[in-house]
Amino acid sequence: MMEFIYKGKKYTWEEWYNEKKSFIENIRLPDEFLIDPALMEFSIIHDEGYSIAIEKFRELYRLIAGARNCLINAFEKFYDSNIIDRDKGYWVQLWTRGEYLKNSIIWYTSCEDYIYQIIWFAFEMGENEIRSCEDYENQLRQVCYTSIKNKLKIKNTLEAQELLQYINDYRFNDDVKYMRDELANNLKHRGHLYFKGLEEIRLFGCKKYDKDKNVIFDLDWVNPKIVDLDATIELLKRVHNELIEFGNKIKKFIDFENMFEKTEDGNIDLNVIKDKKSYKKIIF
């Protein structure tokens, strides 16, 4: 019987397969973000902001799917021999897992910015209408947490307060904040993260002292952050589920289908649309 050993724990092939299967099942894909494109096509006639937001929900799904795929590959502890050279030791597998994990961190962090775009366009927070590609690009450059927060605080209706609360609940979640401010920030501005077992170890320290023997420079100050691979994977799994919950709160709050009238049997009548003030919870 084939066995694998990881961090002192023995796995049969079946046990490892079941553990991986369980991990994948606990980071589901949000199929509900794949909003019917017909809704987008009909809404563009009456509500350009909603049509953009619907398309961005569909794109958010694809972004999450990419981040999730990288996370699954980072979780993989035993790569097939046609992927890596096992003769070079387990560090090659660790390196491969780490590279997948770094990509997953960046993509999950981007998802937060993408939801800000959904909110911005759904509630038409830009000061000017979009009448060219340049207009759209200009608005994209304005989208950020601070801009949305300030606009919602100025509006200060119950609906604006509710939306801002949803945003803050996700943004300041401990796991999300750590991923964004510590992990992604290190990757963006230092270009790297070290994972335990792969960090470079110097034979000698490198410090500079003044005449009073005070340290005035230490090369360790500029070292990349060192994190545990498996602990970081578990953190991103929690972020994944927080992200889907956040996205669903925003989707429910916007309530795209509410812009259309309903037929007597409760179906959406795509040919009849309401006045914006009757279905859009926040008007700018």
Residue 124 has a pLDDT of 96
- Would you state the pLDDT for residue 200? 60
pTM score: 0.89
Give the pLDDT confidence score for residue 162 in this predicted structure. Answer: 98
Q: What is the pLDDT of residue 88?
A: 59
Determine the pLDDT at residue 178.
97
Give the pair of three-digit tokens for residue 230.
Answer: 């498996």
How distant, in Å, are the alpha carbons of 109, 195, 198, 274 from that of 119? 17, 35, 40, 20
Strand partners, 208: 217
- Give me the average pLDDT of each 10-residue run along the chain (284 residues): 75 87 98 93 89 97 98 87 59 87 97 98 95 95 98 97 98 98 89 73 72 84 85 98 98 94 82 87 94
SS3 letters across the chain: CCEEEECCEEEEHHHHHHHHHHHHHCCCCCHHHCCCHHHHHHHHHHCHHHHHHHHHHHHHHHHHHHHHHHHHHHHCCCCCCCCCCHHHCCHHHHHHHHHHHHHHHHHHHHHHHHHHHHHHHHCCCCCCCCCCHHHHHHHHHHCCHHHHHHHHHHHCCHHHHHHHHHHHHHHCCHHHHHHHHHHHHHHHHCCCCEECCCCCCCCCCCEEECCCCCEEEEHHHHCCCEECHHHHHHHHHHHHHHHHHHHHHHHHHHCHHHHEEECCCCCEEEEEECCHHHHCCCCC
Q: Of 256, 236, 259, 258, whose CA–CA distance to 248 is shortest?
A: 256
Which tokens belong to 250?
């925003």
| Token pair listed for 186 | 């290190």
How far is 116 from 208, CA to CA, in rounded Å? 45
156: alpha, beta or left, given left = phi > 0 and alpha = psi -120 to 50? left
pLDDT at res. 208: 84
149/170 Cα distance (integer angstroms): 13
